[in-house]
Structure 1
Amino acid sequence: MQNPFEREFECVKRDAKAGRMEAALHRLQKMEQEDLFPMERRWELHELMGQILFLFADLKAALPHLKLAWELPRTDHGARLAALSNYLMYLHYIEGVTNEEMRAAHSSYAEMMGTLTQFSHGKRRRKRIRVGYLSPNLTDHIVLNFAIQLFADYDRDRFEVYLYDIGDLQSEVTDWVAGMADRYVDLSKFSPQKSVEHIYADQVDILFDLAGHSAGGATLQIAAYKPAPVQISGIGYFNTTGLSAMDYFLGDAIVDPPEMDALFTERILRLPETHLCFTPSERFRAYENLHRMPHDPPVFGSFNNFAKITDEMLALWAEILRAVPTARLLLKNVHPREETLNRMRQRAEYAGIDLARLELRPGSKDYLRDYLDVDIILDTYPYQGGGTTCEALFMGLPVVTMAGTRHGARFAVSLLKNVGLGELVAESSVAYVERAVGLANDAELLAALHTAIPRMMRASPLMDGARYVRAVEATYEMIWERYLNEEA
């Protein structure tokens, strides 16, 4: 016979599996009030509550639970590390976290990882440098849109490319990508320790971690053992890993000004132009020759995950709508959940947004057509849009963003400046509102931008795959030579 805890928790899991998240959350809150969770499983209560609140885009409520999910002890050390990685990822969504607090939080990951026996490496010089890419996202995922050129266009006379896939969502896209490289290895069924042995046995020279603390930090639990003599992180994550085993982080001079060095345990590799190169997927083909005119009245929009939309951003958007009294605001989520739309509607009204001027749309597979209903994209802060910014630019839309003081709050700044749209970057909330209002009130400028931006995007370093790969390869050769010439 089940005890009250087991009986209630089974109901929670049943509700969650059926998508009844409000019901699951209500049950969990009741269980917490009645103190039904045994001490050794309280981490499970907080992890599930945090995850549900994150799905509802309520980060302020979610973060205390997500913090307890890794602080409370549990027997599975790898799962506890994953809970900490998730927490570090979600810290980027809210305002008020200082750069020093962010760095200290990432340093706690290395402390929890503990002392590992790392592999030692000799100095080897071959005709071709062997580069391994470690990723959970070698499928139809936004990170692949930024990494694909590194697999497709590398110099085969100077480099070998090995792909290490730890994801569990392989598809026909995975097969396509696997065919580009010299070697593809599916590590999805192996433990971190076994995965490390595979990579080390392949004698990879440079290992590039494409995920960081995203996806539960699974790649970092491998990289921590130092299976390659030189290791880089970047593209799929936007902050330090906190690991001494990680040597470098990929950035550029715009996203990573000199003061950024103090925030990373890694050495920042600044590419001369952009650290990101965008390759649109096949679904964009239908929109390559758009001819669009601004709506009258104008429509602002955001296509970012609702979790990125802070109360502070909603207040700024309310201010913009007051300054352009005929304009409307369209918010398109990345998830299809109705509960999230209902909660966003409440938050927007509380922030002073007239609900008659607000349209909320759930996530959908054919979301690109929704861009046709918008004139100006309002970027989120402090967690900016990366893939969504590139998609909006490709679809001909200006993006107004606000510059922050760390990598994760500046990558849209780099994207816009590389496209030639630096004037859309605001250095303050006041300037952010002014940029957005100015665009909405200038239909002639808006029409010109809608026509020019797709051309500017295609002609920019952001979509010049060959130029980008050559810059990355020159960096690989530089850091490999540096390693070979270092004193033992």
Structure 2
Amino acid sequence: MISVQIPTDITLSEQQAQQYFIKGNYNYAARYYEQAIEVEPEVKTHYWNLGLMLLLQEQEAEAQMIWMLGMAEGEVQQVEQWTVDLLEVLETEAERRETLTDYSVSWAIRQHMREISPTDVNNLLYLIYLAIQLETFTGEELNSLGVIELLQSEKIVDVQLLLQVFESIINFAPLHHSVLEFTEACLGHICEPKSFINILIPATVKIAQSMWEPQIAAHLIKLGLTLEPKNLEILRHLTAFYLKAGDYTQGIETAKLCYSLSTTLLDQTFATHLLQRGLMDAPGYWQEACGVLQEQEDLLKSLIAEHPTNIVAARVLRLFNTNYFAPYLQDDPYKNRQIQNEVAQLCQLNVQEYANEIIQKYKQSNSQKINKSIKIGYLSHCLSRHSVGWLARWLIQHHNHDKFDIHGYFINYKQRNDTLQEWYVHQFNQAYKGGIYSEDIAEQIYQDKIDILIDLDSITLDITCEIMALKPAPVQATWLGWDASGIPTVDYFIADPYVLPDNAQEYYIEKIWRLPQTYIAVDGFEVGVPTLRRDSLDIPNDAVIYLSAQRGFKRHPDTARSQMKIIKEVPNSYFLIKGLADSEAVQKFFMQLAEEEGVECSRLRFVPQDSSEAVHRANLAIADVVLDTFPYNGATTTLETLWMGIPLVTRVGQQFAARNSYTMMMNVGVTEGIAWTDEEYLEWGVRLGKNEALRQQVALKLKASRQTSPLWNGKKFTREMEKAYQQMWQRYIEKK
């Protein structure tokens, strides 16, 4: 037993107790409070503090006994007041512990507060917040603690605390089934909608994009409309979530509502872009989509003429890809590139306005050494199970790490099981698992002193565009993901002799860097076990099967009509159609075309998406001929088709998107199926369908090409890319 000399002066005794308490010597402090109770048994705070000291020593039963002793023989009103006083003492210590980030102790104190006052909603909110900090929160607490019911009963709530807890919950466990109900219960307590909406929007974007749960994101963000029914930012995100979830009807309706509420050029442009996206994923709306394209061009031209330089960052981000759909609708590179270049330049000017300090800092590059490993940074949101991810992996795998220091910058790193994404992480010398904030990723690129930054996204992702506009690396190039972005800070667009015509430099602001043979090469593809069979599709063994496997964006009505004409001309032929889109709209679209062209609808087969990429490739083998799309060709699908040895019919145009299949076929040495006009497309489709010997001849060429073609030589392609990087870097050094 420790002997403590207790001062007789009570005030001094309390001071001594407080000093021991602050130092964490709860045993000594408890003895002082025991002495104080002996001297002043009527002073209830001595009991509350003594119980707290015992609680902090994990003597919970003893603490409760002391508190009960302090309340003994009190009248009802007295006990009520003493309870309030006790809770205040516990609250003060809980808050102090939270300040010290001693969350476990604070949680224990608040659990006792809950036992004393089980309906104190603010204390319950604190318990949830602490559980999240301790990473023990499961979501079930929202029901077990009765928080949702208490919020619904219009209890008085600390709104700032409520917002803090809401933000923690929606970021820590957003997919729990109770979160939607909790969010709805919060709405009745929100007096200032902006603070709530500012939490709701980024959280739901993360749910939709990183967690791949757009339906849940849509349900959550829709609640924000309860507070502000005409909030354009909410409506824009809601539209995007609907479309990502495949709810095209709701997406189109919400996009139209956005447009009807838009009063500025910028907002109208954003709404039109979303509307166009919805219309093009549902092929039955293509005629309307063409009209929307013209309206979008007019809006963009007006915006370019207006030349605003005070656009805030969030809206500049959205502006970068507003011309995204033009190549899907028309093969007019002069017009498409001019608008895209001018939009990108307008975005660049605005980035320079709001991020001038960052841009100036990045201009002071330390990368000036010649005799060193060149640092290459690959920037993308697609380094995963995505078309870009499947194609870029051979370059990354075959890199010479003695000459090149390879860094990977993942945008919106996926929070899900993705084996290809994890493969990429381990291939890079350094891998940065980024989020959705451009400044963070750009700063990391700058700090890593990357020499050449390769953009794999172009305008498919606005975040990538902003990073490239900040120019965190001295040399920047776009490769693979789309066409060039037109952003002035991008130095090069990597192409080859075929994928762009000879005069293409006339309408590109980037310097076109042509590799000697092909701008893409792979060593091959993994092929699974097929799940499609002729008998299960009710197709005769001697029938000719045509296949088109593209997403809705690429199904231009003119090309689809040509495909119907091919089916009509080839007896005993069937057409398999699959791809990501509104399945009901796709069926209606092709059925109508078939009727108009005199093709029996019974010759059409609509097949679902495959369970994996490997199964998709295996199922391609059911086709005798694959019919490509125009004016936006296949890319990954073309490579997969050629790898599987299947004849392809493609229509060649002038823009990059209309020449992907052309360059790939030239690089495997197959010209059979390359059409330069709509008439030739029809002719090749019919000829390959009717001539089995020709199909076999093409298939043999494709099989032989696996041993000789530059398209199937990832290692050689990597050496060509590395040579290009060295030359780009040498030019930069000489210029500097």
Give the TM-score taking structure 1 as reference length: 0.86
Query: Which deviates more, 103-112 or 63-72?
Result: 63-72
Q: Alignment partner for residue 100 of structure 1, among 311, 331, 335?
A: 335
> Within 1, Cα distance between the matches of 2:515 and 2:557?
34
Q: After superposition, give the CA deviation of every residue in 1:12-52 in whole Å (9 maximum; x if it has no partner).
A: 959948855335545765x589x6x3647766754553332
> Within 1, Cα distance between the matches of 2:254 and 2:378?
42
Query: Which deviates more, 448-457 or 174-183?
Result: 448-457
AA partner of residue 376 (structure 1) = V
Q: Contact (CA 8 Å) 1:233, 1:248: kept in 2 or not?
A: yes
Is residue 2:227 matched to residue 1:22? Answer: no
Is residue 2:296 matched to residue 1:67? Answer: yes
Is residue 2:362 matched to residue 1:136? Answer: no
For residues 389-404 of structure 1, the aligned pairs below 5 Å read 389-404=638-653
- Call closer, same or farther: CA 1:373–1:280 in 2, change over 3 Å: same
- Deviation for aligned residue 1:54: 2.8
> Within 2, Cα distance between the matches of 1:77 and 1:27?
24
For residues 197-236 of structure 1, the aligned pairs below 5 Å read 197-214=443-460, 216-236=461-481
For residues 362-381 of structure 1, the aligned pairs below 5 Å read 362-365=608-611, 366-381=615-630
AA partner of residue 270 (structure 1) = R
- Call closer, same or farther: CA 1:310–1:434 in 2, change over 3 Å: same
1:231 match: secondary structure = strand
For residues 50-129 of structure 1, the aligned pairs below 5 Å read 50-57=276-283, 58-62=285-289, 64=292, 67=296, 77-95=312-330, 97-115=332-350, 116=352, 117=356, 118=359, 119-120=362-363, 121-122=365-366, 123-129=368-374
Q: After superposition, give the CA deviation of every residue in 1:279-321 in whole Å (9 maximum; x if it has no partner).
A: 4454x1558xxxxxx9523121111113211111022123222
Q: Which residue of 2 aligns with 1:148?
A: 393
* Bigger strand fraction: 1
2:322 match: secondary structure = helix
- Call closer, same or farther: CA 1:91–1:46 in 2, change over 3 Å: closer
> Within 2, Cα distance between the matches of 1:23 and 1:182?
44
Q: Alignment partner for residue 179 of structure 1, among 426, 439, 455?
A: 426
- Deviation for aligned residue 1:96: 5.5
AA partner of residue 262 (structure 1) = E
- Deviation for aligned residue 1:389: 0.5
Q: Contact (CA 8 Å) 2:491, 2:510: kept in 1 or not?
A: yes
Identical-residue share of aligned pairs (%): 25
Q: Contact (CA 8 Å) 1:59, 1:307: kept in 2 or not?
A: no
1:232 match: secondary structure = strand
- Deviation for aligned residue 1:179: 1.0
- Call closer, same or farther: CA 1:110–1:349 in 2, change over 3 Å: farther
- Call closer, same or farther: CA 1:338–1:442 in 2, change over 3 Å: same
- Deviation for aligned residue 1:62: 3.6
Q: Alignment partner for residue 242 of structure 1, among 480, 486, 504?
A: 486
Query: Which deviates more, 304-313 or 40-49?
Result: 40-49
- Call closer, same or farther: CA 1:318–1:285 in 2, change over 3 Å: closer
Is residue 2:415 matched to residue 1:188? Answer: no
Q: Which residue of 2 aligns with 1:309?
A: 555
Is residue 2:412 matched to residue 1:167? Answer: yes
CA RMSD of aligned residues (A): 3.3
> Within 2, Cα distance between the matches of 1:52 and 1:83?
16
Q: Contact (CA 8 Å) 1:130, 1:159: kept in 2 or not?
A: yes
Q: Contact (CA 8 Å) 2:468, 2:490: kept in 1 or not?
A: yes
Is residue 2:542 matched to residue 1:296? Answer: yes
AA partner of residue 490 (structure 2) = M
Is residue 2:474 matched to residue 1:254? Answer: no
Q: After superposition, give the CA deviation of every residue in 1:212-255 in whole Å (9 maximum; x if it has no partner).
A: 011x33211101111111111011112x3111100001111111
> Within 2, Cα distance between the matches of 1:5 and 1:277?
50
> Within 2, Cα distance between the matches of 1:392 and 1:412?
10
Query: Which deviates more, 97-106 or 419-428?
Result: 97-106
* Bigger helix fraction: 2
AA partner of residue 192 (structure 1) = S
Runs of 5+ unmatched residues, structure 1: 288-293
Q: After superposition, give the CA deviation of every residue in 1:402-430 in whole Å (9 maximum; x if it has no partner).
A: 11112221121110010111232111112
2:621 match: secondary structure = helix
- Deviation for aligned residue 1:485: 0.8
> Within 2, Cα distance between the matches of 1:23 and 1:205?
45
- Call closer, same or farther: CA 1:465–1:38 in 2, change over 3 Å: closer
AA partner of residue 296 (structure 2) = K
AA partner of residue 103 (structure 1) = Q
Q: Which residue of 2 aligns with 1:415?
A: 664
Q: Which residue of 2 aligns with 1:291?
A: none
1:316 match: secondary structure = helix
- Call closer, same or farther: CA 1:223–1:331 in 2, change over 3 Å: same
- Call closer, same or farther: CA 1:24–1:479 in 2, change over 3 Å: closer
Is residue 2:603 matched to residue 1:357? Answer: yes
AA partner of residue 626 (structure 2) = I
Q: Which residue of 2 aligns with 1:331?
A: 577
> Within 2, Cα distance between the matches of 1:160 and 1:28?
45
Q: Which residue of 1 aligns with 2:275?
A: 49
- Call closer, same or farther: CA 1:163–1:440 in 2, change over 3 Å: same
Could you say which structure has the greater relative contact order, defined with CA pairs below 8 angstroms and 6 or more residues apart? 1
AA partner of residue 136 (structure 1) = H
Q: Which residue of 1 aligns with 2:176?
A: none
Q: Contact (CA 8 Å) 1:59, 1:94: kept in 2 or not?
A: no
Larger Rg: 2
- Call closer, same or farther: CA 1:223–1:43 in 2, change over 3 Å: closer
Q: After superposition, give the CA deviation of every residue in 1:247-268 in whole Å (9 maximum; x if it has no partner).
A: 0011111112320111211111
Q: Contact (CA 8 Å) 2:476, 2:492: kept in 1 or not?
A: yes
1:184 match: secondary structure = strand
> Within 2, Cα distance between the matches of 1:262 and 1:351?
40
Q: After superposition, give the CA deviation of every residue in 1:461-488 in whole Å (9 maximum; x if it has no partner).
A: 11111100001111111111111111x4
1:296 match: secondary structure = coil
AA partner of residue 95 (structure 1) = Q
Is residue 2:497 matched to residue 1:265? Answer: no
- Deviation for aligned residue 1:440: 1.3
- Call closer, same or farther: CA 1:345–1:32 in 2, change over 3 Å: farther
1:157 match: secondary structure = coil
AA partner of residue 113 (structure 1) = Q
AA partner of residue 480 (structure 1) = W
Q: Contact (CA 8 Å) 1:400, 1:426: kept in 2 or not?
A: yes
> Within 2, Cα distance between the matches of 1:38 and 1:452?
55
Query: Which deviates more, 328-337 or 56-65?
Result: 56-65
AA partner of residue 251 (structure 1) = A
AA partner of residue 327 (structure 2) = H
AA partner of residue 186 (structure 1) = K
Q: Contact (CA 8 Å) 2:574, 2:604: kept in 1 or not?
A: yes
Report the count of equivalent residues.
Answer: 473
> Within 2, Cα distance between the matches of 1:99 and 1:332?
32
